[in-house]
Amino acid sequence: MTMWIPKIDAAQGPIYLAIADALEADISSGVLDQGYRLPPQRELAYQLGVTLGTVTRAYGEAERRRLVKGETGRGTYVAPETHKVSPLVPSEDEADVCDLARNFAYPHLNPSLSDGLVRMARTAGIGRLNGFVPSEGLKAHRETGVLVFKDYGLDADPDRVAVTCGAQHGIQVTCQALFRSGDAIAIDRFTYPSIFPSLASLGLKAVSVPALAQSDGGFGAMDPEALAQAAKVHGVKGVFLMPNMQNPTTHTMSLEEREQLVSVARAHDLKIVEDDPYTPFLPESLPAFGALAPERTASIASISKVCSPGSRIGFVHVPELFGDSIRNKIGESTWMASPITAELIAGWVREGHLFKTLRLKRKANRIRFHKARDILSPYFLQGDTHKVFGWLRLPGHVDPDAVQAALGHQRISVLSSRYFQAKDNAPAPYLRITFGSEESDDRFFRSLQKVRSTIDQLAELPELGRPVG
C-alpha cells in the first residue's frame, strides 16, 4: 500500500481532528486494514504542510478513539478490532500501568471477601439464595437498601426499593421505566461517561446543559435557567443528576442548588434520575432529590465504590407509580440481581463493615488529595479531601487528548475531558485524575510527578492545530 495521506482540504475546525476523522473513516471503509503502519509523524506533517505538533495531536486523538496503537521504536499501527475497548474497562495485563483513569476507589481496602463468604456459609436458610427470587429482590435485601439510602439523605420505603446488578444496571432499568424511546434527557455538560451509550441504547436523546460557575473558577451545579431553556427548546422529559461528588467535576450541590433544580423540574414536569455512587465518602449528607421531590425522582445507590464492585449490587428507589415497571424491567433484563451477593452485602452492612471500610478509605484519600494538590500546583485541581478524584484544569492551549496520549506512552492512564462530554464538542482543557485505583502510594506520587512534568512540557509549546505556510 502506498503512503496514507488523509484528505482534509475541506476540513472545518481543528486540523488535528480532521486528520483523526479521516483516519477513522478510512478504517471503517476498509481503505486501511488492521495492522497497517501509519506514516511517521514528521513525514505526514511534511506531506500535509502542517506542524509536527498537529500530527502528534491527531495520532493522540486516534489512539484515544482506539483506532490505532503506538509501539515504542516501531511506530503507530491500525489497531485490531479487539483493541477498540473503552479505557474504563480493565484487563488482566495492566500490572505495569499506573491507573489514574478508572475510579475504583481503593479496592485494596475493601472488606475481606473470604471472611464474608465464611459468614454467609453459616447463615441459616442459605440454601434459599441458590434459587429464584422476586425480580425486585428479597425483603431483607431491600431493607439493606433502605439502610444504604439513609447515607444518601433519603428515608426510603422498602416497598419502593429494588435490588439491581449495580448502579449501571439501575440506570438502565430506571430510564426504561420512566421514559419512552425518543424522549430527550438533560445531562450535565461534563458527566458520567457511560450515560451516553446507556441513553443511546434506549433510544433516548442526551441534551447537554451547562453548569454554573463558582467563584474559584470551578464548576457548580447544572444551571437551572439553562435546564428550563432546554425544556422549552428541546422538550426534555427528564434530567440525570449526580448531586454529590459529581463525576467528573467533583461538585457537591448546596441545598439551594438542589431546590432551584427541583423548582424547574416541577415547573416543566421533568422526571429526575439521581445517581450518587460516591455519597458515602462525604462527611455529611444533604437531602437527596428523592426526599425533596419524591413524586418525580428515581434514586440510585451502589456500594461498588464503598466496598464491593465484584458483588454487582445496587439499589433503586422509585415513585410508587413506577414500581411495577421497575420490577418488570429488571425481570426482562436479568430476571433478578444475585441474592447470593446481595446477602454478602447485607451481612457487611449489618456488621458495620461499610463504616470501617469508609474510615480507612477516607484517611487514605485525605493523604493522597493533599499530595496531588501540592504536586500538580499551580494547575487548579477541583476537589477536596473527601472527593476520590479531581478535575484538573490545564492551560487553555494544552490539548487534554495530547496529555492523555503522552502519559499513556509512559504507562500512566488518565482520562481527557472528551470522555465526559458529547462527541460533537471539542475537548475542554481538563483531565480527571483518580486517587484510589493505584494501590502503591509511592507509585501514585511518582506518576503524579510525571503528569505535572508532561503538562509543563506541553504548556511550553506554541498553540497548535492550524496548518502552517
Helix (H) or strand (E) holding 249: none
Q: What is the pLDDT of residues 129-180, one digit of tens each?
A: 999 999 999 999 999 999 999 988 899 999 999 999 999 999 999 999 999 9
Pull the grid cell for residue 101: 483513569
CA angle 164, 169, 171 (to 5 degrees): 110
In the chain, where the domains are located: 15-83, 98-103+354-459, 113-351
Q: What is the pLDDT of residues 369-385, one digit of tens each?
A: 999 999 999 999 999 99
pLDDT score of 86: 62
pLDDT score of 211: 96
Confirm if 428 and 403 have CB atoms less than 8 A apart.
Answer: no
Question: What per-residue string of b and e applies to 240-251 under the rule 16 or more CB within 10 Å gives b?
Answer: bbbbbbbbbbbb
Q: What average pLDDT does the segment 306-313 reach?
A: 89
Between 1 and 334, name the one with better pLDDT.
Answer: 334
Q: What average pLDDT does the segment 260-276 reach?
A: 97
Helix (H) or strand (E) holding 403: helix 400-408
CATH number of 113-351: 3.40.640.10
CATH number of 98-103+354-459: 3.90.1150.10
Between 467 and 286, name the one with better pLDDT.
Answer: 286
The pLDDT confidence band at residue 469, using thresholds 50, 70 and 90, is very low
pLDDT score of 340: 95
CATH number of 15-83: 1.10.10.10
* Least confident residue range of 81-95, 315-329, 387-401, 428-442: 81-95
